[in-house]
Chain A
Amino acid sequence: MTQDMLVVTELCAGYAGGPVLENISLRVQRGEFVAVLGPNGSGKTTLLRAIAGVVRPGSGSVRVLGQDIHALAARKRAALCASVPQKSSGLEGLRAKAVVLMGRYPFLSFLGNYTQDDHQAAQAAMDQTQCADLCNRQCQELSGGEMQRVLVARALAQNPQLLLLDEVAAHLDVARAVDVYELLRARHSHGLTVLTVAHDLNLAALYCNRLIFMKQGHILYDGPTADIFTASVLQEIYETPLHVVAHPQTGAPQAFLVPHTAHTADSAPGLGE
């Protein structure tokens, strides 16, 4: 029997400037690897923040394993779901290990001392993300890819049921981006439920088994990658010509951008024009 990890019911949320999410409903089963896609300003990040519990919903609810996330104390919330930000500030002067240990905060006692268990959990998380060798490095010395691995390790140290990520690969080069997705897939295959906001369509299509397309605060499409990653859906969402073909090795659908004035090789403009 599958179990609902995340249930979002008729969620409306927004900021002082107006509503961003309108009537969002969504179910994620335990063990899914879901990407949320959509153009800028479609409400992806707000949805993620509402699920994480830092944006209060105007109406509707978010339940993780049956518990209303907005009614929980911050500590309990953090023990259920962990978030990896796109980038993190304020880490200057801290060692990578200290940052990963922060993920143990929800489990600390009254006095806030890290126990042997906490150190082991942090070490295990750093091993899983291949950043154990960065342990004693200062954060400001780390490259973007290394920093991102440390932040994923911090989230894993939280030992969460649900892992939320906000465009973690956005500032990484292609190899580092693939590294991060490989890492997420490895954790996913160990049973972790992963929900990530993604900008890179092709990476999402390569790694995630379910996609959610958002536009203007609504979910337009939601389903298995193979079913909904089509040229017509993508063109409706992004309003630009896109071409979809199967990946030559994996068979996953991959999107190609088409320039608005598409030129075939034989009609290339000459210099004299």
Chain B
Amino acid sequence: MTTHGVAWVGWGLLLALLLSVYAALFSGPFPLSAADIHNTLGRLFSGQPISTAMIVVRDLRLARIVLAVLAGACLAVSGTVFQGLLRNPLADPFTLGISSGAACGATLALTCAPAYTWIQGHLLLLTPVAALVGAFVAMILVLALSRVHGGLSRESLVLGGIVVSTFLGALISLVKAVHEESVATIVFWIMGSFQGRGWEHVGLMLPLMGLGLGCVLLFSRELDMLRLGKEQAALLGVAVTRARVGLLLGAGMLTAAAVSVSGIIGFVGLVVPHLLRVLVGADTRPLLLLSGLGGAFILLWSDVLARTILSHGAELPVGVVTALFGGPFFCLVLARTRNMT
């Protein structure tokens, strides 16, 4: 596709995303008229007295929409980085075990926290913070393991990821086995959901997301070159190890940012980069940008589905929605691209 075509896809996605944000404001169990919503939107930053409509629109719906948009962008961008870095179209943000780390941290928080009364007041952010810590511990473990084993080669990274996530998975199972009463909460958290999340979570993930995005963008040219392989990249002047560490940390931070507030939402980070690569080609910078927009768009609508598909205000975990729709869709894309080549 030409540069011009790529730009059109980008503007199209941005427009679709903005319209979707607007449309998503209308979905929810609390009955609000269009006039109510417009009225509230107009007064969003005016500091007017709090009304019910204001709380619903701003603190429930908009916060959740923003969170889904940010998390979707994080997952898709980090998926793009991992696929490029590992030179494997089947890599995703969770390949290196960062999600297992987050799940492990969250599991420990969910089971242990209720035992300490002094924590009760800070419970809201305890789980995401613990997930964040877990994600970072896992990421550092994988980097260290792979460095010892083979100097951050693709194989050693994947191997390190498998070792770490298997170990942490066993740890989660252990906690579930001895702590039966918290199994339901753990399982629900791991499936991924935006239920009950608010602006605090946006505040928690936003700095990390900014840092991760900055890191990824700074090394995006190197990401382009690294897929030629270590030696070719080095011959063209890339400081390979520094670029790899920078990209891994950047993508890891993006994954951790998303996972810590939402749990483990699969498929967005796998399908979106894959689909866009087929559509616009493999040039890294446009692909990163479009993946971000695409991921935000997909996760936003998945979340809308997750909270409206069941009646009486009951919710599906959004991770279930992305997997249910993403799986068959991915098969379709794979079948079609195979026919094309």
Contact = CB atoms under 8 A, between A and B. Distances in A.
Nearest to B280: A93
Given A98-B283, A108-B221, A78 B236 contact: yes
A94 B8 CA distance: 19
B231 interface: yes
B234 A74 contact: yes
A146 B282 CA distance: 20
Interface stretch (A21-29, A36-44, A81-89, A234-242): A81-89
Nearest to A98: B283
A111 B219 CA distance: 8
For B220, B277, B282, the residue with the greatest tally of chain A CB atoms inside 10 Å of its CB is: B282
A119 B239 CA distance: 23
Contacts of A52: 235
Contacts of A49: 231
Contacts of A103: 236
Contacts of A74: 234, 237-240
B235 A79 contact: no
A89 B236 contact: no
Interface string B211-242: 00000001011101101110110111111100
Given A88-B228, A88-B232, A98-B283, A73 B221 contact: no
Interface residues of B, number: 24
A98 B277 CA distance: 15
Given A54-B235, A105-B236, A94 B221 contact: no
Contacts of A138: 281
A73 B240 CA distance: 11
Contact of A105 (B2, B238, B281, B282): B238
For A53, A54, A91, the residue with the greatest tally of chain B CB atoms inside 10 Å of its CB is: A54
Contacts of B2: 136
A269 interface: no
B239 A75 contact: yes
Contact of B277 (A73, A77, A93, A95): A93
B282 A54 contact: no
For B222, B238, B239, the residue with the greatest tally of chain A CB atoms inside 10 Å of its CB is: B238
A17 interface: no
B280 to A, nearest CB: 9
Contacts of B228: 88-91, 102
Contacts, number: 70
A218 B249 CA distance: 44
A90 B87 contact: yes
Contacts of B236: 78, 102-103, 105-106, 154, 158
Contacts of A105: 221, 225, 236-238
A94 B282 contact: yes
Contacts of A158: 236-237
Nearest to B240: A74
Interface in B175-221: 218, 220-221
Interface in B80-107: 87
A78 B221 contact: no
Given A73-B239, A90-B228, A54 B281 contact: no
Contacts of B222: 112
Pairs A-B, 10 closest by C-beta atoms: A78-B237, A93-B282, A112-B221, A106-B237, A90-B227, A75-B237, A83-B235, A90-B228, A74-B239, A93-B281
16 contacts: A49-B231, A54-B231, A54-B234, A73-B239, A74-B239, A78-B236, A79-B237, A85-B232, A88-B228, A88-B232, A91-B228, A93-B283, A98-B224, A102-B236, A112-B220, A112-B221
Interface of A: 49, 52-54, 73-79, 82-83, 85, 88-95, 98, 102-103, 105-106, 108, 111-112, 136, 138, 154, 158
Given A92-B282, A106-B237, 17 more contacts: A53-B235, A54-B235, A73-B239, A74-B237, A74-B240, A77-B237, A78-B235, A89-B229, A90-B229, A90-B232, A93-B277, A95-B283, A98-B224, A98-B283, A102-B225, A106-B236, A112-B218
